[in-house]
Amino acid sequence: MGMNDASISKAAVIGGGVSGIAAAYYLQKNGVPVDLYESLPGIGGRIGSDYMNGRPLDYGGKNIGLKYERFREFVKDLGGLDFEYFGFNTSQVINGRVSAFTKENERLYNILRVLSLAGLTGSIKLVPLLNAVRRDPSLGFLNTPYFNAIADRYDQRSLASFVPDKCAKYLLRPVTVRMNGAEPGECFPGNFGSNIALLLDSYEQLREGMQVMLDRFRLFSSSVTFLTGHHVSKVEAAEDVTRVFYTDGSDRLSSGYKVVIVTLPAIQASGLFRESLPDVASLLASVLYNPVAVALVAYHENVFTDMQRAMVFDQTSPLSNAGAYGVGDLDLVRYTFSGKAARKVVTDTADPKEVVALGEKIIEPYFHIRKNRRREYIYKYISPGLCAYSPFHHRLLERLDEYSGKYSGLYFTGDYRRGASLEACFRASAETVNCAMKRCFR
Ligand SMILES: Cc1cc2nc3c(=O)[nH]c(=O)nc-3n(C[C@H](O)[C@H](O)[C@H](O)COP(=O)(O)OP(=O)(O)OC[C@H]3O[C@@H](n4cnc5c(N)ncnc54)[C@H](O)[C@@H]3O)c2cc1C
């Protein structure tokens, strides 16, 4: 095995998804050269675009909140990109009736609907949490004193037992299935602040898709060496050097660094430490991830109307959500399969064509599908897909920091640190880089 310690004054970032990109971006801002390891041929991870008739379409994370401060600053630094309005428009079948819920609706109507679904007990539990995040948006990320106290008090039971059934089913489920790929029974009250942040924001998307942003980032990052096609198999921390073991497609190699920032989903990060730090590996392995499948399907005629652009489905349906790709794309459907029922049917071996047909069958009673011919589609099965964290999650993070804190050169960040939104990934990486800078480079 080849060894190379020439990179000792550099930092290594493991993973080229949004968390790794953000870590490399902040390191570069601090004047630290970076080796960025990514096992796939391109960067992006769970964001990125595929092309349909030359148009880039995002299969992964794409909606950017108006409150995403760090992410927007990053885009500005890249030279700026055009955003387009996405809004918040969905409907739901409740007791056989379609009920619309949109940010474009009357505010009072929305509030009354939420209160009626929450019921008195649900409202008593949820309104204080909502108000807390509204007053202090920093509570919309994981691991804050306010929500850690909620976790300590309530996380021995799930979010489903925190509120009445109707409230969990119709109000919380659409949010947890979308953000965490999980049922309310698989999520925990102490982590719900990050879901509330999602509810309180309004959304845009990049007009030309995420791929353009990824390409810009590569051009922008003069002090980042992009080691794509480099799969990391192991990381070993010692007092003054942290060693990264990897293959570049043919050879097995290793390099030593002053600082290594691991940005992989916890479940994948776990695999790098099985031999060197088994306690860290088992902690990371206990963070929950759920798969998600996304199909983008173009039709000859409009499927949706201006007033009804999306629908969420209940826990019996493998299709969790179907919506127009953009405000002006009423003929382009984004089908999302996540949640418990989806996991049974939409597996890694499922035939994309059958999955698309399943989605169509489910939305057919509500939208113009039956005599509407399909033009083209893109399909992606993503696993690990959506992070659902863990009960008493702050304790897990604290223990992780205790273990890794023994080594000045080893850091962990990712979607399980501050939350799974793109903004939360940026925030977590910024904090991690700050910490590494203080300990190692100043
Ligand atoms: C379908 C979907 C829709 C979403 N929608 C939104 C949204 O609208 N808005 C929003 O804010 N968020 C959204 N999210 C969440 C957000 O996209 C993710 O939380 C975020 O992209 C995760 O980025 P990451 O860098 O932490 O992880 P990843 O994107 O998973 O990056 C990890 C990277 O590491 C690489 N890697 C793995 N193992 C190794 C190894 N051993 N060696 C080297 N490289 C390795 C992987 O190939 C990958 O590129 C969505 C997520 C999904 C899946």
pLDDT digits 0-9 by tens, 359-373: 999 999 999 999 999
- Predicted confidence (pLDDT) per residue in 4-63, tens digit: 654 568 999 999 999 999 999 999 999 999 999 999 999 999 999 999 989 999 999 999
Ligand 1 atom closest to 198 (CA): 11
In the reported structure, the alpha carbon of residue 418 is separated from the centroid of ligand 1 by a whole-number distance in angstroms of: 14
Distance 174 CA to ligand 1 centre (A): 21
How many whole angstroms from 385 Cα to the centroid of ligand 1?
7
Residue 440 neighbours by CB under 8 Å, 6+ apart: 258, 259, 408, 409
The rounded Å distance from CA 101 to ligand 1 centre is 28
326 near 309, Cβ under 8 Å? no
Q: What is the pLDDT of residue 440?
A: 86
- State the pLDDT confidence band at 91, using cuts at 50, 70 and 90: confident
Mean pLDDT, residues 166-194? 96
The residue whose CA is least distant from atom 10 of ligand 1 is 421
Is 70 exceeded by the pLDDT of residue 104? no
Q: How far is the CA of 430 from the centre of ligand 1 (A)?
A: 17
Rounded to whole angstroms, the Cα distance separating 244 from 257 reads 8
Task: Return the structure tokens found at 323.
Answer: 């919506």
Alpha-carbon 152 to chain mean position: 25
Other Cβ atoms less than 10 A from the Cβ of 365: the count is 10
pLDDT band at 2 (very low <50, low <70, confident <90, very high): low
Model pLDDT, residue 351: 98
Q: Sort residue 209 into left (φ over 0), alpha (ψ -120 to 50) or beta.
A: left
Task: For ligand 1, atom 17, name the residue with the nearest CA.
Answer: 61
Least confident of 2-6, 156-160, 376-380: 2-6
The tokens of 95 are what? 């007791």
Res. 109: pLDDT tops 80: no
Ligand 1 residue neighbourhood (C-beta within 6 Å): 14-20, 37-40, 45-47, 60-63, 231-232, 263-265, 268, 292, 294, 382, 385-386, 414-415, 420-422, 425
CA of 387 to the centre of ligand 1 (A): 10
Rounded-to-integer distance, Cα 100 and Cα 106, Å: 11
Residue by residue, DSSP assigns 239-265 as: SS-EEEEEE-SS-EEEEEESEEEE-S-
State pLDDT tens for residues 225-259. 999 999 999 999 988 899 999 999 889 999 999 99
What does the pLDDT look like over 192-218, one tens digit per residue?
999 999 989 999 999 999 999 999 999
Ligand 1 nearest atom to the CA of residue 40, by list position: 47
- For residue 253, the CA-to-ligand 1 centroid distance in Å is 25
Tell me which of 13, 46, 232, 334 to substitute to probe ligand 1's pocket, judged by most ligand atoms within 8 Å of the beta carbon. Answer: 46
Distance, CA of 20 to CA of 30 (rounded, Å):
15
Cα(391) to ligand 1 centroid in Å equals 22
CA atoms of 65 and 216, how far apart (whole Å):
21
| Best CA proximity match to 6, nearest among 39, 33, 38, 26 | 33
Q: How far apart are CA 419 and CA 197, in angstroms?
A: 10
Distance separating alpha carbons of residues 143 and 149, to the nearest angstrom:
10
- Which atom of ligand 1 approaches the CA of 246 most closely? 42
Cα(278)–Cα(266) distance, rounded to whole angstroms?
A: 14
**Structure letter (DSSP) for residue 186:** G
pLDDT at residue 306, rounded to an integer: 86
Give tens-digit pLDDT for 254-307.
999 999 999 999 999 999 999 999 999 999 999 999 999 999 999 999 999 988
Ligand 1, atom 27: closest residue by C-alpha: 17
Note the pLDDT of residue 398.
98
> In a 3-state reduction of DSSP, which class is residue 205?
strand
Return the ligand 1 atom nearest residue 336 CA. 1
- Cα first-last separation, the chain: 33
pTM comes to 0.96
Q: What distance in Å separates the CA atoms of residue 325 and residue 335, rounded to the nearest whole number?
A: 9
Residue nearest to atom 41 of ligand 1 (CA): 232
Task: List the residue whose alpha carbon is closest to atom 53 of ligand 1.
Answer: 385
How many Cβ atoms sit within 10 Å of the Cβ of residue 207? 12
Whether 113 and 101 have beta carbons less than 8 Å apart is answered as yes
Residue nearest to ligand 1 atom 35, measured at CA:
15
In the β-sheet with 64-65, what is the strand arrangement from edge to edge? 64-65, 203-206, 83-85
Give Dmax over CA atoms of the chain in angstroms: 66
Q: Is the pLDDT of residue 93 over 80?
A: no
In whole angstroms, what separates CA 297 from the centre of its chain? 22
134 C-alpha vs ligand 1 centroid, how far in Å? Answer: 27
Reply yes or no: is the peptide bond before residue 164 cis, omega within 30 of 0.
no
Instruction: Give percent helix, percent strand, percent coil of the chain, each to the nearest 5.
Output: 40, 25, 35
Ranges of H-type helices in 66-222: 69-77, 107-135, 145-154, 159-162, 165-167, 173-180, 192-200, 210-220
Of 213, 217, 422, the one to substitute when testing ligand 1's pocket (max ligand atoms within 8 A of C-beta) is: 422
Distance, in Å, from the CA atom of 260 to the CA atom of 436, rounded to the nearest integer, reads 9
